[in-house]
Structure 1
């Protein structure tokens, strides 16, 4: 990756940097996620007042930006990106959506626990911060309950499916085997907190905090079960108007939802046809995809037993990709050469990436959350995921943005994340690795196509169910609903049922997010093809390495902003 040229910060940068400081003050959990030091002992106010404070900060920064003129192209992108992102956040706020957030993957139910995965743990002070945040968690839960109540009074309650899922999660976090108990008594704490008097006090605060956190989750589970569940609708679909807003939030672009649904059906059929061709390479003439999967799943050279083997293979595969790509297809900055592969302490079935901290003391990490019943893994399925989460996927993308300190302000580097841009790039990266020859093994290629098939199926599932669109006869005809979508998803997602069930609930409870992967990939590819066409019109040769460097040096922005910036 080409090192950005140093530039003098502008008035626009100053406003953006100041806004990040304000975000950190209002939302210390976001500060920790961004890797900003000084906020780890604090807790976010999840009450309606906290949401209003965030909205007012957004209104204030837009007023400041309206008084400024861009000094250069970097400023022009910053202004466009901030107006687009903050404008959508205010639309969501005015619609009351943040108050009602409740689902199985990306709501305060998970975020209040997951933040501890990325907090520093290497010093006594770090554990003092953890203790302070644990002891503040009950107040955050109280504020969250108030927000859910307020949203319910306005008629906005998550579907009963999401309420039930989060009750189960909250009960687990409230139980005797809670993460909070194992965390404060685990080896990381033991390695730092010796028997000195000072550390004894920290341990006491940690124990108190863990108990307080468990009790808070017990309170939350009780509220969800006894008060919110009776108000929760059975219907999972959110309808066209709400969905259109969510889609714009996740993509940073406005797309024709009906056309995108039809494209999803066509893309799914195209990927399936490509899979069938690869299946015949694996299992012989006339073989089906299922036949090829059986051949691959019984191949001992493609099998990993246990999470230790999975973690070691993830690390080896990601390290090899970094070595192979650096200096050839990308110039990767030194700090980005390090990626840690981790088995997540949760067991929900998700696979995700967390970016490095601003000072690089926390490296980028790839996490695999493995359900307890899943003990075997097949490398042919998972290789493409390592490229998605690692290099050239999220780790390269996010690491490059953090590294671009000499060009990008703090908001651009750390605070702005657009799902369609980020997840779209990661899918683009998967296909890029196939195009570069890293997925030539038929098994690995089938795995890549398997992942692409799942993402295409999500476009159909998500838009079809939430908008109530017509379902193809192959999948029952009539109108899409959750019941009809389950066999469709099982047929198109080649994963253990625990993973599929988690994904199914995720799509139903987080509308618009799942399609942002495949639709984002489509928009990335369209942007690249436009750059190719422009180069040809100038009589120049398209340089993919230069295009990728230029695009990633922008940081994460809405896909409409990306296309305009690269035009």
Structure 2
């Protein structure tokens, strides 16, 4: 897969938009469009995608059993053969970009199925049951949507049964998360399974405040139907899964940490590198990049320590940051308010750095308590910035500005809505590509220096610590999965090179252990965006406008890094104009 994917991304003509004129639609365009249109309709029929005009809740959950998964593999393998029959050079300029994005996407989907990743629907960071909980956050607007939601609740026994069968198959061949990373991850299951009443579960939340447009009598009946579905289907499914996790899965999960220790592990880890970085880099190459970048960041950190006036060495400064009460909020509300303050500071700078501002706003909310102990410090997306208020001595205020830029605006809660608001793109272009999305979010942390977000040297150090954290991921992820590193070795490396609290280090390292490759996307993505910006600044000189550059990057949506590079070549060739000016 890797060879074919890279050939698609790098072959002559695929990524050479800067040197070619705009072409009208071609016969190859029509063939390509028929392929992805048919595949997308099929994907919707499988409940793996939603139509662009669909805002409602579907009445069913997808089938995830092994037979369905293998049928999907056969289908996507066929799609890849159809794509390989098209010469990218025969496509028009816009469709070449679509081809590069689409082929990488289909290849990654097929590879995940080929390695039977569906047999491991849980890791230290998330699981299929925590993903299901997200359905409770979407506002329901009509009685029909409420009925569809209840219909989904009735599907939980079937869905959980299929996932349990997959997990047993993974257990039989040693394809599980490492046992050490699963401790406590059954807590969200217990919260639902052991709730005293259906109304006490998260799945009843949409029924606590219903639209006034639904008659009161119908509201009452829907509440009764929901409570019955939760009591008779949801909670029993959760109880069976909780017993399975505690009695069968967690006790017998594998003890080895490395992805390369899994069945066909070396190829599997390389497939995750390709998926999450959209590059052909090897584990060894990425490890060395991480070590080199860490050395550069350390020099910046040392200089920033001197700016604070601190007299001790690096280790002493980290200890000072981790233990001095001045750097930590005293209440969850204080942490949330400080996060809101940083977000509003960006609002005051936004128009200086972005020509296009998304319409979608975001809320700042705490991470749900049953997830918080094992959750990241924050997470953002369209409409929401989740802030983890659990264990406040682990949530440093000097890192909060960088975290907020990354997760809210101009990071994830800004970039994703901009992508979703772009018109005229095929629906598969709405998918999230980690190297681009995480690379952008990390880039915005550095951008905070230019925007004046960091108010003192401690906050600047917090940003640099976060940069070091992401560079350390290159070292730690490859160290664990390709070089035989232990969990303790990875934790020690993070402790010695970043200002992260020990709780966060432990949570993060377990995340990398159980989610191979994902941690590599951040820093490599940021490096690609920084490289593209430096190239544009040098080529355009006084014509370079940071707003036009940012708009050009974000208008792409989410693309493989070579596509980004090619787009900036076009941006330079067109004189650094705003993509929105050209549209008008």
For Structure 1 versus Structure 2, the TM-score category normalised by the shorter chain is 0.7 to 0.9
Aligned to 2:280: 254
- Alignment of structure 1 residues 502-521 onto 2, 5 Å: 502-521=507-526
Q: TM-score, normalised by structure 1?
A: 0.83
Q: How does 1:85-484 map to 2 (within 5 A)?
A: 85-117=105-137, 119-121=138-140, 123-176=142-195, 181-184=200-203, 186=205, 189-190=208-209, 192=211, 196-211=216-231, 212-229=233-250, 231-239=252-260, 240-286=266-312, 288=314, 290-291=316-317, 294=320, 298=324, 303-326=328-351, 328-336=352-360, 338-345=361-368, 346-347=371-372, 348-353=374-379, 355-356=381-382, 364-371=383-390, 373-374=391-392, 377-405=395-423, 407-412=424-429, 414=430, 416-439=431-454, 441-468=456-483, 480-484=485-489
User: Whole-Å Cα distance in 1 between the matches of residues 240 and 99 of structure 2?
Assistant: 43
Deviation at 1:235, TM superposition (A): 0.5
- Alpha carbons of structure 1 residues 354 and 72: separation in structure 2 relative to 1, 3 Å: farther
- Residues 252/292 of structure 1: CA separation in 2 closer, same or farther (3 Å cut): closer
Aligned residues: 532
Q: Which residue of 2 aligns with 1:500?
A: 505
Query: Following TM superposition, by how much is the alpha carbon of 1:78 offset from its aligned partner in structure 2, in angstroms?
Result: 0.5
**Aligned partners of 2:47 and 2:62 also within 8 Å:** yes
How much does 1:55 deviate? 3.0
How far has the Cα of 1:331 moved from its partner? 1.3
Whether the aligned pair in 1 keeps the contact of 2:120 and 2:170 (CA below 8 Å) is yes
Unmatched tracts of structure 1, length 5 or more: 1-6, 357-363, 469-478
Deviation at 1:375, TM superposition (A): 7.1
Distance in 1 (alpha carbons) for counterparts of 2:72 and 2:492: 41
- How many angstroms does 1:183 deviate by? 2.6
Distance 1:200 1:104 in 2: 39
Q: Is the 8 A contact 2:355 2:548 kept in 1?
A: no
Instruction: Decide which moves more: 550-559 or 174-183.
Output: 174-183
Q: CA deviation at 1:57?
A: 4.6
Unaligned runs of 5+ in 2: 1-23, 261-265, 570-584
| 1:307–1:375 CA contact under 8 A, matched in 2 | no
Q: After alignment, is 62-71 or 440-449 more displaced? A: 62-71
Q: 1:517 to 1:177 in 2, by over 3 A?
A: farther
When normalised by structure 2's length, the TM-score is: 0.81
Please state how far the C-alpha of 1:292 moved relative to its aligned partner: 7.0
SS at structure 2 position matched to 1:446: helix
Would the alpha carbon gap of residues 46 and 165 (structure 1) be closer, same or farther in structure 2, given more than 3 Å must change? Answer: farther
Distance of 2:119 and 2:247 partners within structure 1? 19
Q: In structure 2, how many angstroms separate the alpha carbons of the residues matched to 1:543 and 1:177?
A: 59
User: SS of 1:305's equivalent?
Assistant: coil
Q: Give the 3-state SS of the residue equivalent to 2:63 in structure 1.
A: coil
Asked if the contact 1:388/1:426 (under 8 Å) is kept, the reply is: yes
Compute the displacement of 1:528 (Å). Answer: 3.1
Of 221-230 and 416-425, more deviation after overlay is shown by 221-230
Runs ≥4 residues deviating over 6 A? 7-10, 67-70, 177-180
Superposed CA offset, 1:312-352 (max 9, x none): 332332233133122x211133514x222221223233245
CA distance in 1 between partners of 2:267 and 2:560 (Å):
20
Q: Structure 2 CA distance, aligned partners of 1:46 and 1:507? A: 25
User: Per the alignment, do residues 133 and 501 of structure 1 end up closer, same or farther by CA in structure 2, a change over 3 Å counting?
Assistant: farther
CA displacement at 1:105 relative to structure 2: 1.5
- The Cα shift of 1:514 comes to 1.1
